[in-house]
A and B are shown apart, each in its own frame.
Chain A
Amino acid sequence: MDERVAGALRLLPDYLGQHVLLSASSLLLGLAVSAPLVVLARNSARVRWPVLTFVSVIQTVPSLALLALFYPLLLALSSLSLKLFGHGFAALGFLPSLLALTLYSMLPIVRNGVTALLNIDPAVMEAARGVGMTPRQSLFRVELPLAMPVIMAGIRTSAVWVIGTATLSTPVGQTSLGNYIFSGLQIENWVSVLFGCLSAVALAVIADQLLALVENGVATRRPLRVWLGLALLVVGVAAAIVPTTHGAKSAYVVGAKSFSEQYILADLMADRIVRAGSSATQRIGLGSVIAFKALSNNEIDAYVDYSGTVWANVLNRKDSLPRAQMLDEMTRLLKEKYGVTLLGSLGFENAYALAMRGDQARSLNVRSIADLAGHAGELRLGTDFEFLARPEWAALRDRYGLAFREERQYQSTFMYRAVASREVDVISAFSSDGRIAAYDLVVLEDAKQVILPYDAIVLLAPRRAGDATLRRALMPLIGAVPIEQMREANQMVDRDENKVSPAQAAQWLAEKAGLAGLN
């Protein structure tokens, strides 16, 4: 079997179980919330319009944004609850995903339910009153049974939507089949992306068919089919969930943002923790800002960030300091403001850098950003999703007088592809990225030192500040990863031929750092 397929299969029990648990919970909660709304909307035209509008508007919010928005909301609620009641709750992972998907699941259920109930033959409704039914008896004995086929159709649509959309819960820290897709996209493992898609599709088809069996049983008054369908659904959900809940809870959670280097470093840290005699799970594919918030909220225990990112995005500093001074200042401020411990720097820098194709740089005779300024008007800039919103882009633009002909944003993998295939000319590359060498790109010199230092730093959650095991496990990594090795490890994961998994690359890094056999 292909190594990538085998690797994906190993992850399947965990990913599938979490995905099923999330989807089933969201759908059940969605049903529980929708049912009274449907009845209210049936009873009152005044409630109907706002309810139907609300569920429709929810549907128009892009699902990824809906998931992302629940994180800050829950974080605020959690800190409020911490102040009022003495304990908060996890704002990352399951809860925001559950709430967003629940809202998402409601439209087909509510709309079909209301439509079906409002379209019941008035003669039958009058007969229900005429034989002596109370409004409640009429609802449960006549209207709901008659509306059930249409309601079931809505539930089926909803189930398919939820299972598909649940793949987008990975960036808010919920493990799902989306982990295959997001990590596969980052490390260009298309087998993984395809595996994730196909698993989600298969899951949706199975759920849809079982619900169809229930629907058919309801419509044709065959209780056996209804119970069979429901029983198979319950058994299926239970079978998928059991393996994930069975294992003991890990002692530590290591976080990672969504790119190759982060996956490798998370594997490296998790491996160190395991070697130190403890256990670790990973929350990978976190959004850049979400990762720090999750850490300061004790939802993950450790992750690697970059000094310039923390300086600008977390501490909101617009100024720049010399490297060592910045690290000292940052260590003090993170402790003071967030209780976060800056354990130290891994030894390499992953800075933003403007890069262009070697052949084009040579023909235009461009070596530095200052040289680039004269040609920028004819060139196109490709960036990742956050670069253009960062203060250093504004600083670069102003200090060097950069004005490109066009600016385009890409997911970082496609950004490199875009410059290689000449769709853009200049990109916001990452200095530790193996693809700079692989695609023969030239990093342009920043003579004015506008771009901040981006030392890779290990951060620990407030509750882990004095944790001896974690320190013992991670301290040996400080200063142990030189830039050349990080670049090569990244390249091993990103290249098209002889690709290795992030775990294998982490193993290679550990060996190079002389940590492979040690505790």
Chain B
Amino acid sequence: MSQPIIAIERASKSYRNGQQFALHDLSLEIEPGTFVAVVGASGSGKTTLLKVMNRLAEVDSGTVRVSGQPVNDRPGHELRRSVGYVFQGIGLFPHLSVAENIGITPRLLGWDSAKIDARVEELADLVALPRNVLRRLPAELSGGQQQRVGVARALAAKPAILLMDEPFGALDPITRDALGSEVRRLHESLGLTTVMITHDVLEAVLLADRIVVMRAGRIVADGSPQSLVSGHPDADVRAMMEMPRRQAERVRAVLERNSHG
């Protein structure tokens, strides 16, 4: 077993003076090259789990290691420049052009302009963004295009790790499906380690190598999509994970009824 690229050990983080836990004595190791989906109800601690990986949030106790190094060993902004992060609300800078948005992290790292321009065009092609939108402002783009920019921005400085917080939550189903597949393809071709939060179990099943289910700051289930879909001792987990299959069966039933009709 290779060395984990992300290792969280007995991490806790609480709000309201310990009344409510976002992370409750949580441990998690992620192998390089894995696509992990984190699912769970709202308030289960998914986003906090993602944020402690690049120090957008700090743990109260426990340790978080990225590439073997404790995250607190270096300044947060340096860590964050080396980890790609796609925000739930996209969070594009409204006053910067699409190209400037994508090139922001390389610029902070002091790349020269020619190198940044080349990288931006490369990324536009990679996320299937037409070249002619690069000079526009984010507000002039469709929701799907904006999220492509968000993904390109996260990947600009060639990070080994990509963290995504419900990246496709606000998109229509068709765009969502297409973008999901493309991200999976990028994950493969770039050799990324990807952690994606989603509330859509079907998306998790279709995209991830590994699914982590959270409840009240703890991991209640952790395994491959196959293993979780085919049954789990925890009733809630089972109910959640069986959802895609039940829906698929209902769709099949509808189709059969129509063809017999």
The yes or no verdict on A and B being binding partners is yes
Q: Which residues of A contact B (CB under 8 A)?
A: 121, 123-124, 126-134, 137, 142, 145-146, 221
B78 touches A124 (CB 8 A): no
B residues 73-96 near A (Cβ < 8 Å) are 75-82, 85, 87-95
Asked whether any CB of chain A lies closer than 8 Å to the CB of B104, the reply is yes
Known: A123-B90, A127-B87. A221 touches B95 (CB 8 A): yes
What residues of A have a CB within 8 angstroms of the CB of B78 in the complex? 132
Can you list 22 A-B contacts (CB < 8 A)? A123-B88, A124-B92, A126-B87, A127-B87, A127-B90, A129-B76, A129-B77, A130-B54, A130-B87, A130-B91, A131-B81, A131-B104, A132-B78, A132-B79, A132-B105, A132-B109, A132-B157, A133-B108, A137-B77, A142-B93, A146-B95, A221-B137
B196 to A: closest C-beta gap in Å: 15
What residues of B have a CB within 8 angstroms of the CB of A124 in the complex? 91-94
A131 touches B105 (CB 8 A): yes
Asked whether any CB of chain A lies closer than 8 Å to the CB of B210, the reply is no
Known: A132-B105, A133-B108, A146-B94. A123 touches B77 (CB 8 A): no
Q: Which of B91, B108, B157 contacts A126 (CB 8 A)?
A: B91
B189 to A: closest C-beta gap in Å: 23
Given contacts A132-B79, A132-B109, A221-B95, 14 further A-B contacts (CB under 8 A): A121-B94, A123-B91, A124-B93, A126-B56, A127-B87, A127-B91, A127-B93, A129-B80, A130-B56, A132-B77, A132-B82, A132-B105, A132-B108, A142-B93
Among residues of B, the one whose C-beta sits closest to the C-beta of A146 is B95
A127 touches B77 (CB 8 A): no
B87 touches A123 (CB 8 A): yes
What residues of B have a CB within 8 angstroms of the CB of A142 in the complex? 93, 95
Q: With the chains together, A121 CA to B108 CA distance in Å?
A: 21
What residues of A have a CB within 8 angstroms of the CB of B94 in the complex? 121, 124, 146
Q: With the chains together, A123 CA to B47 CA distance in Å?
A: 14
B90 to A: closest C-beta gap in Å: 7
Q: With the chains together, A146 CA to B137 CA distance in Å?
A: 13
Q: Mark B45-59, 1 if CB is under 8 A from A, else 0.
A: 000000000101000
A448 to B: closest C-beta gap in Å: 78
B182 to A: closest C-beta gap in Å: 21
Nearest first, the 4 A-B pairs at minimum CB distance are A127-B91, A132-B81, A123-B89, A132-B80
Among residues of B, the one whose C-beta sits closest to the C-beta of A148 is B95
A131 touches B92 (CB 8 A): no
B108 touches A137 (CB 8 A): yes
Known: A133-B77, A133-B108, A134-B77. A128 touches B56 (CB 8 A): no
Number of A-B contacts (CB under 8 A): 60
Known: A123-B90, A126-B56, A137-B108. A131 touches B95 (CB 8 A): no
What residues of A have a CB within 8 angstroms of the CB of B93 in the complex? 124, 127-128, 142
Q: With the chains together, A317 CA to B94 CA distance in Å?
A: 71
Among residues of A, the one whose C-beta sits closest to the C-beta of B137 is A221
B108 touches A131 (CB 8 A): yes
Asked whether any CB of chain A lies closer than 8 Å to the CB of B119, the reply is no
B148 to A: closest C-beta gap in Å: 15
What residues of A have a CB within 8 angstroms of the CB of B75 in the complex? 134
Q: With the chains together, A123 CA to B56 CA distance in Å?
A: 12
B95 touches A130 (CB 8 A): no
Q: With the chains together, A123 CA to B88 CA distance in Å?
A: 9
Q: With the chains together, A126 CA to B77 CA distance in Å?
A: 12
What residues of B have a CB within 8 angstroms of the CB of A132 in the complex? 77-82, 105, 108-109, 157
A51 to B: closest C-beta gap in Å: 26
A130 touches B108 (CB 8 A): no
Asked whether any CB of chain A lies closer than 8 Å to the CB of B218, the reply is no
Q: With the chains together, A134 CA to B56 CA distance in Å?
A: 12
Among residues of B, the one whose C-beta sits closest to the C-beta of A124 is B91
Q: With the chains together, A130 CA to B88 CA distance in Å?
A: 12
B104 to A: closest C-beta gap in Å: 5
What residues of A have a CB within 8 angstroms of the CB of B87 in the complex? 123, 126-127, 130
Asked whether any CB of chain A lies closer than 8 Å to the CB of B153, the reply is yes
What residues of A have a CB within 8 angstroms of the CB of B89 in the complex? 123
Q: With the chains together, A221 CA to B89 CA distance in Å?
A: 24
Among residues of B, the one whose C-beta sits closest to the C-beta of A130 is B85
Q: With the chains together, A121 CA to B75 CA distance in Å?
A: 24
Q: With the chains together, A123 CA to B91 CA distance in Å?
A: 5
What residues of B have a CB within 8 angstroms of the CB of A221 in the complex? 95, 137
What residues of A have a CB within 8 angstroms of the CB of B109 in the complex? 132
Among residues of A, the one whose C-beta sits closest to the C-beta of B80 is A132
Among residues of A, the one whose C-beta sits closest to the C-beta of B92 is A127
What residues of B have a CB within 8 angstroms of the CB of A146 in the complex? 94-95
Among residues of B, the one whose C-beta sits closest to the C-beta of A137 is B108
Q: With the chains together, A146 CA to B91 CA distance in Å?
A: 13
Q: With the chains together, A208 CA to B88 CA distance in Å?
A: 41
Of A124, A131, A146, chain B has the most CB atoms within 10 Å of the CB of A131
Q: With the chains together, A142 CA to B77 CA distance in Å?
A: 15
Among residues of B, the one whose C-beta sits closest to the C-beta of A128 is B93
What residues of A have a CB within 8 angstroms of the CB of B56 in the complex? 126, 129-130
Q: With the chains together, A142 CA to B153 CA distance in Å?
A: 16
What residues of B have a CB within 8 angstroms of the CB of A137 in the complex? 77, 108
A145 touches B95 (CB 8 A): yes
Q: Mark B205-232, 1 if CB is under 8 A from A, else 0.
A: 0000000000000000000000000000
Q: Mark B129-145, 1 if CB is under 8 A from A, else 0.
A: 00000000100000000
Q: With the chains together, A142 CA to B138 CA distance in Å?
A: 14
Among residues of A, the one whose C-beta sits closest to the C-beta of B153 is A131
B residues 104-157 near A (Cβ < 8 Å) are 104-105, 108-109, 137, 153, 157
Q: With the chains together, A76 CA to B81 CA distance in Å?
A: 56
